[in-house]
Amino acid sequence: GIQVEQSPPDLILQEGANSTLRCNFSDSVNNLQWFHQNPWGQLINLFYIPSGTKQNGRLSATTVATERYSLLYISSSQTTDSGVYFCAASRYSGGSNYKLTFGKGTLLTVNP
């Protein structure tokens, strides 16, 4: 199955700083998503981005499918951005293999 690797595992920032989180995946994908897990455990969907670039406010993401990586950019970070960021991917093919495989996550801490 697909392997998903995220880096860095931990990141500490001062409020207002920018950051880039990286996700590498081992095979071509039909689905790639970035999630933010809040302190209560809910996975908040940030982007559905199997290819291309998307932006939503201070967050943006780029997936280069041919090179099998995705980047999540956080600009002007705020303390509320703290939490774990997960990248997850799936490769649906021939009526099988629907599961979403998660990386181990990046723990982001934004200090005031």
The footprint of another protein (CB under 8 A) covers 30-31, 33, 35, 40-45, 48, 86, 88, 90, 92, 96-105
Q: How far is the CB of 50 from another protein (least distance, A)?
A: 9
Residue 32: CB minimum distance to another protein, A:
10
Q: Which residues of 12-25 are buried (b: 16+ CB within 10 A; e: fewer)?
A: ebeeeeebebebbb
Q: Would you say 2 and 90 are in contact if contact means Cβ atoms under 8 Å apart?
A: yes
Q: What is the DSSP letter of 112?
A: -
Q: Smaller CB distance to another protein: residue 36 or 74?
A: 36
